[in-house]
Structure 1
Amino acid sequence: MNISGEIKANKTDKSSKVRSTIRLVASMLVVLFFAEAIVMFTLPLIFHTSIPFVDNFADSVMLILISAPFLWFLIARPLHATAREVERLNVSLAARAIDLEKQNAELQKTYHDLEVETVARHRAMEELREKEQLLIQQSRMAAMGEMLGNIAHQWRQPLNVLAVKIQEIGFLYQYDELSKEVLQSNISTAMEILQHLSRTITVFQDFSVPDKEKKLFMVEQVISNTLQIIEESIKKAGIKLEVSSAGNPQITGYPNEFGQVLMNLIMNAKDAFVEQGTASPHIVVHAWSENGTSVVTITDNGGGIKEAIMDKIFDPYFTTKELGKGTGIGLFLSKTIIEKNMGGRLSVRNVENGSEFRIEV
């Protein structure tokens, strides 16, 4: 395109010089014509008589030569200058047209590049969406396994108590020692256990259903529901769990997803205790309101996080657990839920003898 533009510019310059020469010659002929006309026809008409030196050809030619310069400066020169200015403008317009053609070619190339880049970005977004869906599916499978384990821990003790109460009724009846008071007491205890199991089913069911839209929820209530699910698992692991709250914190967001984040962080701390062999494992969950923001911290004494991996723990598939014991997506999805879905912030830092995860929404 540049070579073509230079060829066009050279052709324009050559044709401009030829036209300028032709105009100059034509101007001189026009001047001589006007001079001859003035001498031969105009002057006799002005003076209403023939002029001797005009009738004489030699004198006429002399008069033409004398008057030609004046006519050149008065008529032909301005016309020639105007023509040159017009030609200069034409050359400038031609050069401008070449520049516009180059700019148009560059814009077309840029537009093509943008189209290619847009297609590449769409493809990358589709691939990222597919990966996110895969991560979510893997997370759900892992959460399902975790949930089944929690249900087993949650129900095992109440079911044992219920079995004992039913057996007690049978033994007492067998030996004819079943009184009305004992029967009513055991029935009352059995009903309380069954109601407790029914409530836990509701909690598990609500917890597993994804939220369709944001809504205002009490942080304390979500913490309570989450701990109810994992309470028995935490007790079995010998972990001391403390919960405190201040300022009645509230969040507009997705309560079930928020509960999933809390569960991930607490179970992460539980796994850290096992890896570190912590003698007296301790987890503190504290919630409060701070400058219009709800804050929840989960603090443990599991030895903390190595500084070398502090910046990597939220990366997908990053895990310090043994092969087969961790997917490496729990913290990644927790950060995605808090920051992408709920517009908050999830961070971590080391504290004395452990680590602290901080949720701000």
Structure 2
Amino acid sequence: MERPPVDRPSLDALARLDGVDDSAWLDVIQKMDEVYSQLVQDEIALEEKNVQLEQSQQFIFGLLSAMSDVLVACDEACRIEETNAALCALVGRPDDALRGLPLAELLADAASGERLRAALASTGRGGASVEIDLRDAQGQPVPVDLNVTPRFNAAGQRVGHLFVGRPLGELKRAYRELREAHEALKRTQQQLLHSEKMASLGRLVAGVAHELNNPISFVLGNVHALQRYSERLREYLAALHAGSPGDEQARLRAKLRIDHLLADLPSLIEGTLEGAQRTADIVQGLKRFSAVDREERGTVDLNGVVERAIHWVRKGTAPAFAVHWSPGPPCPVTGSAGQLLQVLMNLVQNAYDAAATRPDTAPALWITLEREADRVRLRLRDNGPGIAPEHLSRIFDPFFTTKPVGKGTGLGLSISYGIVEQHGGRLTAGNHPVGGAEFVLELPGGA
């Protein structure tokens, strides 16, 4: 800012004043310049302060306008001093019409006024919550949940109250949408759990089909042989009943090999019964350890669960899998046999899949079972490449998998982790010092 020129009296004119020399007048002119310069600086600073104040006001106005919650600032007598656009829209009145208006005039009923007065009386230096009914633009009551906070000036004196709240209709709608989203998430989770169970069931069925093939084929072969034998016996008995001569009976007996047939019958019947019993045992085992059982809890021998998991994975997808496992004394735990089998099948199958990626060695798995006081610890270590450090923290995340597309759902370990937690146990993963991945399953011991 340029200063206007200052008319200064000449030194000759000043010298004409009696008793005043030139140096004194120079000091006066210098002080005048300093005062004027200070005035200019103060004016510039004041303009900067005004710009900042205007920006702050615009910022605060923008915040008030953007708020979706209603806001009312009142004095100590509960007369409205400041509002926002949300309140104006709710009650159908402009901001100018609301200023100075008692807040009580916006209430829909006397009960709301009583609740508001009780909340104001309980605020002190803190806040309070109250639910009141405001009249909307059509005069209808609208429930609003308000937070009441006292306002203080710079000296610490209370000068009024601040009311911030949201119409409960919006809260109910938001809650309904949240509940619907939660229900949809639960349905999706159930579908994913079902998909993973079906994948486990598929591996189980593959093993069952292979397991049932031998005894059923044996039974079918014996039944066909018995059918042929029955036809030959029927022909021979018909000749006997017809009273055929002795030599004709002897010729027919030799032709039909009746003696060999009678000698072979006991072994055929015994083999058929053995095959049928083997099939019944397989079905009974499948019934006990099915991955889709009714999830009933009871005492389960963990040795048996491990054996069945190894058995079904080998029969289904990994016949050449070398599993080093020696069952020890009974190790009871409390839980669901089917769910625990699903966990063990996932761990054994994952161990085989990981170990099979190494072309230089045959897939192998070492399983050990330890029992300490009231805890059971099962360790499974494979000879695969191990778990990459960046994957260790994500190994149990849903949908995380390092398998190629179409080879894994990324849900097996996540679901297994959840099942173990539901049983009061813990499932952890890491890399063994000698190489390969190691999973540790801990469960509370049973009776």
Note whether the superposition's TM-score is higher than 0.5. Answer: yes
* 1:226 counterpart residue number: 309
* 1:184 counterpart residue number: 266
CA deviation after TM superposition for structure 1 residue 5, in Å: 1.4
Aligned counterpart in structure 1 of residue 347 of structure 2, from 248, 252, 265: 265
Q: Does 1:125 align with 2:125?
A: no
* 1:298 counterpart residue number: 380
Change (3 A) 1:288 1:102: closer
Partner deviation per Cα, 1:54-106 (whole Å, 9 max, x = no partner):
xxxxxxxxxxxxxxxxxxxxxxxxxxxxxxxxxxxxxxx9xx75956974442
Q: Does 1:106 align with 2:162?
A: no
Change (3 A) 1:279 1:293: same
Q: Which moved more, 1:260-269 or 1:203-212?
A: 203-212
The separation in 2 between residues aligned to 1:288 and 1:175, in whole angstroms, is 63
Aligned counterpart in structure 2 of residue 142 of structure 1, from 189, 199, 202: 199
The separation in 1 between residues aligned to 2:344 and 2:338, in whole angstroms, is 10
CA deviation after TM superposition for structure 1 residue 347, in Å: 0.9
The separation in 2 between residues aligned to 1:303 and 1:189, in whole angstroms, is 46
Q: Which moved more, 1:281-290 or 1:343-352?
A: 281-290
The separation in 2 between residues aligned to 1:277 and 1:178, in whole angstroms, is 54
Larger relative strand fraction: 2
Structure 1 counterpart SS, 2:260: coil
* 2:293 counterpart residue number: 210
The separation in 2 between residues aligned to 1:257 and 1:346, in whole angstroms, is 14
Larger relative helix fraction: 1
Q: Is the 8 A contact 2:352 2:364 kept in 1?
A: no
CA deviation after TM superposition for structure 1 residue 304, in Å: 1.6
Partner deviation per Cα, 1:118-146 (whole Å, 9 max, x = no partner):
66764553243122112112113322322
* 2:418 counterpart residue number: 336
Q: Is the 8 A contact 1:200 1:229 kept in 2?
A: no
The separation in 1 between residues aligned to 2:228 and 2:435, in whole angstroms, is 52
CA deviation after TM superposition for structure 1 residue 345, in Å: 0.5
Aligned counterpart in structure 2 of residue 4 of structure 1, from 57, 65, 74: 74
* 1:49 counterpart residue number: none
Q: Is the 8 A contact 2:200 2:291 kept in 1?
A: no
Q: Is the 8 A contact 2:295 2:337 kept in 1?
A: no
Structure 1 counterpart SS, 2:418: helix
The separation in 1 between residues aligned to 2:346 and 2:192, in whole angstroms, is 15
Change (3 A) 1:187 1:307: farther
Change (3 A) 1:313 1:196: same
Q: Which amino acid aligns with 2:306?
A: I
Over the aligned positions, Cα root-mean-square deviation in angstroms equals 3.8
CA deviation after TM superposition for structure 1 residue 163, in Å: 5.6
Q: Is the 8 A contact 2:321 2:363 kept in 1?
A: yes
CA deviation after TM superposition for structure 1 residue 150, in Å: 1.4
The separation in 2 between residues aligned to 1:208 and 1:239, in whole angstroms, is 22
Greater relative contact order (CA < 8 Å, ≥ 6 in sequence): 1
Q: Is the 8 A contact 1:273 1:302 kept in 2?
A: yes
Aligned counterpart in structure 1 of residue 430 of structure 2, from 349, 354, 361: 349
Change (3 A) 1:151 1:247: closer
Structure 1 counterpart SS, 2:385: coil
Change (3 A) 1:272 1:167: farther
Q: Is the 8 A contact 2:323 2:364 kept in 1?
A: yes
The separation in 2 between residues aligned to 1:181 and 1:288, in whole angstroms, is 53
The separation in 1 between residues aligned to 2:407 and 2:192, in whole angstroms, is 16
CA deviation after TM superposition for structure 1 residue 228, in Å: 4.0
Q: Is the 8 A contact 1:293 1:360 kept in 2?
A: yes
The separation in 2 between residues aligned to 1:318 and 1:8, in whole angstroms, is 58
Q: Does 1:316 align with 2:398?
A: yes
Q: Is the 8 A contact 2:387 2:437 kept in 1?
A: yes
Q: Is the 8 A contact 1:246 1:288 kept in 2?
A: no
* 1:276 counterpart residue number: 358
* 2:47 counterpart residue number: none
Change (3 A) 1:230 1:159: farther
CA deviation after TM superposition for structure 1 residue 180, in Å: 4.8
Change (3 A) 1:213 1:179: closer
Provide structure 1 residue ranges, at least 5 long, that are not aligned to the other structure. 11-92
The separation in 1 between residues aligned to 2:404 and 2:127, in whole angstroms, is 61
Q: Which moved more, 1:284-293 or 1:241-250?
A: 241-250
Q: Which amino acid aligns with 2:411?
A: I
* 1:327 counterpart residue number: 409
